[in-house]
């Protein structure tokens, strides 16, 4: 069976990067994974001045808009590191919030798919032919959390 998710207010909305589950990474608290992810595009660039603005906006939609602005230049290695950045943030989110960690673990071995009609990289796209990298990251995080849980039981 496949679990499709997309909007934060829909079933399995906690899988969305726009869900209201903050994370603390490298000593900084971010309101959502989306805030963190969009800010990381500009680390070490001449446009890094936008990072505090992305951090400060109230909603993930605003963070996404700032991060997607085509007049700013993203870091040169962004294409190589963006999935690593996303995985780090998603793992932190599910390690931080026990309630949504249980939701993720409750999905068993089901395929998780971001049902974005427009995103063919992170989601499946309108024709369901996209790469679904967010779903793949979630399934990888689910497996890592299972292993961490098993290790903690063994070590007790």
Q: Measuring CA to CA, which residue among 93, 98, 104 is closest to residue 3?
A: 104
Q: What is the pLDDT of residues 61-96, one digit of tens each?
A: 999 999 999 999 999 999 999 999 999 999 999 999
pLDDT reading at 152 higher than 80: no
pLDDT band at residue 150 under the 50/70/90 scheme: confident
Distance CA 115, CA 130 (A): 10
Q: Measuring CA to CA, which residue among 21, 135, 20 is closest to residue 87?
A: 135
DSSP 87-132: HHHHHHHHHH-HHHHHHHHTTTT-EEEE--SS-SSSS-TTTT-S--
Q: Of all helices (H) and strands (E), which one includes residue 147? A: helix 133-155
pLDDT reading at 45 higher than 70: yes
């Amino acid at each position: 069976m496949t679990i499709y998710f997309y909007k934060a207010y829909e079933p399995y909305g906690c899988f969305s990067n726009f869900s209201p589950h903050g994370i603390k990474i490298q000593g900084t608290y971010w309101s959502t994974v989306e805030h963190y992810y969009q800010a990381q595009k500009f680390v070490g660039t001449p446009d890094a001045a936008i990072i505090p603005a992305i951090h400060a906006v109230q909603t993930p939609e605003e963070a996404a808009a700032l991060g997607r602005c085509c007049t700013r230049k993203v870091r040169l290695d962004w294409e190589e590191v963006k999935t690593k950045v996303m995985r780090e943030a998603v793992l932190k989110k599910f390690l931080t919030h026990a309630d949504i960690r249980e939701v993720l673990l409750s999905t068993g071995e089901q395929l998780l798919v971001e049902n974005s009609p427009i995103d063919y990289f992170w989601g499946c796209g309108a024709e369901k032919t996209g790469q679904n990298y967010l779903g793949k990251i979630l399934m990888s995080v689910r497996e890592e959390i299972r292993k961490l849980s098993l290790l903690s039981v063994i070590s007790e």
